[in-house]
């Protein structure tokens, strides 16, 4: 008979096994790599309750179409607009575009607001066939069956809130490699 102490000993394991090296760092492998996307800025846009007016105003000011639920839109300059909630949208843009976006804040109607939250978030890009396998260890959301190209979802990664989005059409087993973005709050 074994003691109760032996039966209750916790087992420590990482969600990354066998995706880490000896020091515990995620390594690039065949069919999986993780890159930190640098040079991106994040602007949070709160819109008015009049969604149609907000869509018109944002299109006129920044030439960005507010996306429908759980979707992403991209303007001709590459500014991505992520749907977060019915009255919250995130503009993901380059550092060079940041000044242009903020120079137009005076055109924003009084019932709408913006905040620069660039330093509070980071973007990780996962590439390869094993992306869904890796991320499925951390979250319950079915990325392979539900997160199609141009879609965005708010979920948790472990216990951390994250925004996950897929920006390009892809089949997980074809080339070019699928590219998914994981926008996660930094501690």
pLDDT in tens, 37-61: 778 888 999 999 999 999 999 999 9
Predicted confidence at residue 21, as pLDDT, reads: 62
Asked if residue 169 has pLDDT above 50, the reply is no
Percent above pLDDT 90 for the chain: 36
Query: CA dist 9 to 14, 17, 117, Å?
Result: 16, 20, 43
Asked if residue 4 has pLDDT above 50, the reply is yes
Neighbours of 143 (CB within 10 A): 23
pLDDT tens profile 55-82: 999 999 999 999 999 999 999 999 999 9
Predicted confidence at residue 3, as pLDDT, reads: 55
Predicted confidence at residue 88, as pLDDT, reads: 95
Q: How confident is residue 177, by pLDDT bands cut at 50, 70 and 90?
A: very low
Predicted confidence at residue 26, as pLDDT, reads: 59
Tell whether pTM > 0.85. Answer: no
Mean pLDDT within 76-104: 92
pLDDT tens profile 107-129: 999 999 999 988 777 787 887 77
């Amino acid at each position: 008979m074994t003691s109760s102490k032996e039966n209750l000993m916790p087992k420590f394991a990482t969600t990354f096994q066998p995706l880490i090296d000896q020091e515990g760092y995620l390594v690039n492998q065949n069919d999986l790599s993780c890159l930190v996307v640098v040079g991106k800025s994040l602007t949070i846009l709160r819109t008015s309750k009049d969604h149609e007016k907000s869509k018109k105003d944002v299109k006129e000011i920044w030439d960005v179409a507010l996306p429908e639920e759980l979707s992403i839109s991209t303007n001709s300059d590459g500014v991505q607009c992520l749907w977060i909630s019915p009255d919250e949208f995130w503009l993901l843009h380059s550092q060079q575009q940041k000044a242009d976006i903020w120079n137009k804040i005076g055109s924003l109607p009084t019932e709408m607001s913006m905040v620069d939250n660039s330093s509070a978030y980071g973007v990780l890009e996962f590439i390869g066939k094993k992306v869904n396998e890796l991320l499925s260890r951390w979250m319950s959301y079915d990325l392979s069956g539900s997160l199609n190209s141009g879609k965005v979802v708010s979920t948790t990664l472990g216990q951390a809130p994250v925004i996950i989005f897929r920006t390009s059409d892809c089949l997980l087993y074809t080339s070019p490699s699928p590219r998914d973005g994981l926008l996660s709050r930094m501690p």
